[in-house]
Homo-oligomer: A and B are copies of this chain.
């Protein structure tokens, strides 16, 4: 349990700062970071399946068993990479959105930012949004970083609504009470003043966006709209209109 605390500190999962009171702690923090870096490198080359603890240890010039002092299992190492990936993507989107002024431009920027990040870090993208790794259950630690990504989109939509800039182009079907309730959960947390109908459209566009990036990464567009740059841009415009941000 003391060792767990140290691991948490080294992983940066606690809000407390490094401290590094002793040389041992500093060495531990550095080695933990080196392991994650090498693991991320291997992840980028061969994907999650190709990530081998033994290979990481080999590359770092140590024996495989030594690595278990830093990450109790392969899954724990993967969890650390997942958290880092969520944070990296979240930061990227926040930055991309911050570059635009009007809410609707922030929405567009976030869409294009997501695709760009996914194409540049396809294995990390697959790690967080791809087929779940069998037998792996994401621990609670991943929830908070994961929230940063949708927050960018919902934030843009919320601000657009407040500025009176959201006008859906056609009337959709009625929402059932249960669906209203479910959408209301998100609403209560992030956008209490936006109507459920608008949030539901945003959610549809959100899913469409991730479907598109997933299809492109999976090569499902082969022989049709591949390369997908034009289709992506066109679809973002269509879905932006659909949401009412056009």
Contact = CB atoms under 8 A, between A and B. Distances in A.
Given A176-B230, A208-B208, A135 B201 contact: no
Q: Which of A129, A131, A176, A224 has the most CB of B within 10 A?
A: A131
A27 interface: no
Given A179-B231, A186-B224, A172 B211 contact: no
A218 B132 contact: yes
Interface stretch (A45-53, A72-80, A157-165): A45-53
A130 B133 contact: no
Nearest to A182: B225
A241 B170 contact: yes
A220 interface: yes
A241 B201 CA distance: 13
A121 interface: no
Contact of A208 (B132, B200, B211, B217): B211
Interface majority SS (helix, strand, loop, mixed), chain A = helix
A93 interface: no
Contacts of A176: 230, 234
Interface residues of A, number: 54
Given A135-B46, A170-B169, A215 B207 contact: yes
Tallying the copies of this chain within the complex gives 2
Interface string A20-51: 00000000000000000000000000111110
Contacts of A50: 134-135
A134 B185 contact: no
A225 B223 CA distance: 34
Given A207-B211, A211-B211, 11 more contacts: A46-B134, A169-B169, A172-B241, A173-B241, A178-B230, A182-B226, A185-B223, A203-B224, A203-B231, A204-B235, A214-B214
Interface of A: 46-50, 126, 129-135, 169-170, 172-173, 175-176, 178-179, 182-183, 185-186, 200-201, 203-204, 207-212, 214-215, 217-220, 223-226, 230-231, 234-235, 237-239, 241-242
